[in-house]
Chain A
Amino acid sequence: MLLVVDDNYDVRMLLRISLRSAGYQVDEAADGQEALRCVNDREYDAVVLDQKMPGMTGLQVAERIRTTHPKLPVVLFSAYLDGTLSATAERLGLHVVTKTDLPGLVAVVQAAAGG
């Protein structure tokens, strides 16, 4: 079971369809708050997080997840990959993918979640 977090419905839809055809069941959250509720309620194999969201950013959500679920694989996708973002992501042990690389995203999720 995967959790996809993105404020854009169309992106969530695309990820749901792509990941489902790769064999995963997918839950969705539209923002950071909703994502944290889901993570506390259910056991996920991995969380796929958009970096740029209104309210909490993907990194902020990942940081909160790390305090409660240190072993849960988190895949962060972002339009920009700058040094600061990569460094923070590395410190938190996140997998980072650019937003335009959908096949890459599916491959990274498969490696992270197993399966």
Chain B
Amino acid sequence: MTAPEDLVRERLSQALSELSRVQIELDQERRRRAEAEASFDELVWSMSDALLVVDQRGIVVRVNARATRLLGRLTDEVLGSRIETLLPSDVPATPWALLHQHPDGRFQVETSLDTADGTTPVSLTGAVIRDRAGKVTGGVYAARDLSETQRLVASLAEATDRWRLLGRTSDLVAGEIDPREALPEIAAEVSRATGATVAFALLDGVVVDRIVAAGDGSTAEALGRLRGRPVDATTAFGAVATGQPSTLHVPAVPSGYPLFGLEVETGDISDALLVALPGHDDVQGVVLLFTDGAGAVDEQRIELVEQIAARTGLAIANARLRDSLASLVADGQARQAREDLLAGVSHDMKTPLTILDGFVDQLAHDDGAGIPLDVLAPILKRQTHRLRRLVMQFLDYTCIEADRALSVGQVPVDLTAVLTDTVATIDDAQRVRLDLPPDLPLVVGDPQRLDQVFANLLTNALKFSPPGEMVTVDATVAGRTVRVAVTDRGPGVDPAEVDQMFEKFTRGAHAQRIEGTGLGLYVTNQLVRALAGHLHVEPRTGGGSRFIVSLPAVHGAAS
């Protein structure tokens, strides 16, 4: 049997144990809450966003360093102030107002804050804070400084531009394209990347040889007028162009400042930069940069422009070197060709002159005795013809060089008579076989010019034929065209050389051992063209070549 005191004692004991359990739970709860608050504070402080925590009335109870920095105030100034004094008026200033406007309890808006630096663009997020029971106990506002992001985006874009520009200018140095042709594009890119008016001025000695500008219209236009003007060595432009220093930066250009000796309206210009385009051991020109915003030319941009200038300058120096090398080579080739021509023609003239001279001497000393006229006459005719052809060839060449038309007659010509005479008046005539049809129609042409054409072709054919091999001349009629072919058993024409055979001073691989000016075929081809004809060459079956001259038959004469 249990006494009532025992029952009470038992109840009390249970209650005490219950109480101690609750106390333990409470302690644990308190600790958890303290930890939670501590970690919340830690979170608030470490957030990269500016954070403001408010109570139910909209009074700031917590703030992080980011927020005080952004707002430009002390923590004590911010704590206890009403949130509406810190945020724009269109932002809900209490948790209740927030919940009223945004039933889901949160909002996000891009706005701007009055800050230490003036106005700062921010992304502002707000949310209500509830307790475990769901009761609204306060609110939190987070502001992210967008100017930072905008700067990041801008610098990212600039870095991209930078790399593209540097890559582009490196391509120029590699010599794939002519850097001078790429200057407008580079100027435009630099202008876009820096927001400045940009000009590349190339110098030829001390004269602005070429100027390419991009950017602000009137400044670019003024820069354009510098072309052809000498740079004044006393101005900054001249100083850079003649060596030192290689970069000049004039920040905050005063009104009326002589901008590197340029007649540029300085009213709108706040900043000017001039960087030399360095060549191998000289200055190729300058890059000029003009901005109309303060501080737009910063260290980074100067560095960018310097890097571009270094690459562009080198590329231009290389391109100029290549140009002058090419023109030197071309000059040298042309001079050599003319010298060879003169030497060739004067050499070719020596033989007929010596022969004529010799016979004249013999005739003078021996009264012509012992030299039968039928021997003498053909020799004199051959050698005077040879001289005449050489002189004509030389005159024709000078004519062609001076871009004057070759003078040719346009009369009916009996080709058989011309060819017979030509063959009779070339050296080695006994090695030529004339094989002409009896009814060859007259052609339109010039007998002396045609003699020149065939004498050239025959002389060539004989020169390249092995001794004892005959050269043949035959003719065919096709419609209104007469084709005369000179066929030899020489080494033939390399198909790869056919196209350039009729060019000036071209000599086939086989011709290297054989004397000649390299002009014969060129002049011959020009002559045939002047005669409204056509000259071409084809390989001969069994070795050798066929040079074919097509000439217009006299109208109505063709059969």
Contacts and interface: CB of A to CB of B under 8 A. Distances in A.
Interface of A: 7-11, 13-14, 17-18, 20-21, 31, 33, 52, 54-55, 79-80, 99-100, 102-103
Given A10-B355, A10-B383, A31-B467, A18 B428 contact: no
B351 A21 contact: no
B382 interface: yes
B379 interface: yes
A16 to B, nearest CB: 10
Contacts of A18: 358, 361-362
A92 to B, nearest CB: 22
Contacts of B383: 10
* Residue among B354, B357, B430 with the highest chain A CB neighbour number at 10 A: B354
Interface in B318-371: 347, 350-351, 353-355, 357-359, 361-362, 365-366, 370-371
A26 to B, nearest CB: 13
A80 B348 CA distance: 12
A91 B361 CA distance: 34
Contact of B467 (A20, A55, A100): A55
Nearest to A9: B427
B510 to A, nearest CB: 14
Contacts of B375: 13
A108 B361 CA distance: 18
Contact of A17 (B347, B354, B371, B465): B371
B370 A21 contact: yes
7 contacts: A9-B427, A10-B379, A11-B351, A11-B355, A14-B359, A99-B350, A99-B351
Contacts of A7: 427-428, 467
B428 A8 contact: yes
A14 B358 contact: yes
A100 B348 CA distance: 12
B355 to A, nearest CB: 5
Interface string B370-386: 11000100010011000
A52 B354 CA distance: 16
Interface of B: 347, 350-351, 353-355, 357-359, 361-362, 365-366, 370-371, 375, 379, 382-383, 427-428, 430, 463, 465-467, 515
Query: Binding site of B, secondary structure by majority: helix, strand, loop or mixed?
Result: helix
A30 to B, nearest CB: 8
Nearest to B386: A10
B489 to A, nearest CB: 12
Contacts of B370: 17, 20-21
Nearest to A77: B354
B466 A8 contact: no
B118 to A, nearest CB: 90
Contacts of A14: 355, 358-359, 362, 379
Contacts of A31: 467
* Residue among A10, A11, A33, A103 with the highest chain B CB neighbour number at 10 A: A10
A54 B466 contact: yes
Contacts of A9: 427-428, 430
A33 B468 CA distance: 11
Query: Binding site of A, secondary structure by majority: helix, strand, loop or mixed?
Result: helix
Nearest to A80: B347
Contacts of A8: 351, 427-428
Nearest to B465: A54
The list of the 4 closest CB pairs from A to B, nearest first, reads: A55-B467, A14-B358, A54-B467, A10-B379
Given A9-B428, A54-B463, 9 more contacts: A10-B379, A13-B379, A17-B371, A20-B370, A21-B370, A54-B467, A80-B347, A100-B353, A102-B357
Contacts of A33: 467
Nearest to B363: A17
Contact of A99 (B354, B371, B428): B354
A38 to B, nearest CB: 16
Given A8-B428, A10-B382, A102-B357, A21 B466 contact: no
B351 A79 contact: yes
Contacts of A17: 359, 362, 370-371
Nearest to B375: A13
B432 to A, nearest CB: 13
Nearest to A21: B366
Contact of B362 (A21, A55, A99): A21
Nearest to B462: A54
* Residue among A8, A14, A100 with the highest chain B CB neighbour number at 10 A: A14
Contacts of A79: 347, 350-351
A48 to B, nearest CB: 13
Nearest to A14: B358
A5 B430 CA distance: 17
A27 B379 CA distance: 19
A103 B361 CA distance: 10
A31 B353 CA distance: 22
A102 B350 contact: no
Contacts of B463: 54
A14 B370 CA distance: 12
Contact of A102 (B347, B358, B428, B467): B358
A106 B241 CA distance: 71
A52 B379 CA distance: 20
Contacts of A102: 354, 357-358, 361
Contacts of A80: 347
Given A18-B362, A20-B370, A55 B347 contact: no
Given A21-B362, A79-B347, A100 B371 contact: no
A13 B379 CA distance: 9
Contacts of B465: 54
Contacts of B353: 100
Contact of A10 (B361, B366, B427): B427
Contact of B350 (A20, A55, A100, A103): A100
Nearest to A11: B355
A106 B422 CA distance: 32
